[in-house]
Amino acid sequence: MAGQNKRTTIYLDTELHRALRLKSVSVSRSLSDLVNDAIREALIEDAEDLEAFEVRAHEPLVSYGEMVKRLKRNGRL
């Protein structure tokens, strides 16, 4: 990925920074690599959530009251 990187400044909570620095040393990876991976994973999860919302967009809505009735009927409440 050399040449595709963009420098930025972020401010981390002191304890998070300490934990990230310790992890960086323990896994022999840079702070940047760990932060990039964490952000990438979060964005992938968001994309998966959005896709799931789109897939379910046309499902009928169920009210809270109806859901409670279903849970009782199925012995879950």
Distance in angstroms (rounded) separating the CA atoms of residues 28 and 73: 54
Mean pLDDT of the chain: 94
Is 7 domain-assigned?
no
pLDDT tier at 71 (50, 70, 90 boundaries)? very high
Q: What angle do CA 72, 70, 66 make, to 5 degrees?
A: 115
Is 4 domain-assigned?
no
> In terms of residue numbers, what domain contains 22?
14-73
Is 6 domain-assigned?
no
First to last CA, the chain: 52
Looking at the 3D structure of the chain, how many domains does it have?
A: 1
Is 48 domain-assigned?
yes
Kindly tell me if the per-residue pLDDT of 1 is higher than 60: no
Q: What angle do CA 51, 64, 52 make, to 5 degrees?
A: 5
Tens digits of residue pLDDT in 28-60 = 999 999 999 999 999 999 999 999 999 999 999
56 in helix, strand or coil? helix
Is 5 domain-assigned?
no
Is 33 domain-assigned?
yes
Q: What is the pLDDT of residue 2?
A: 58
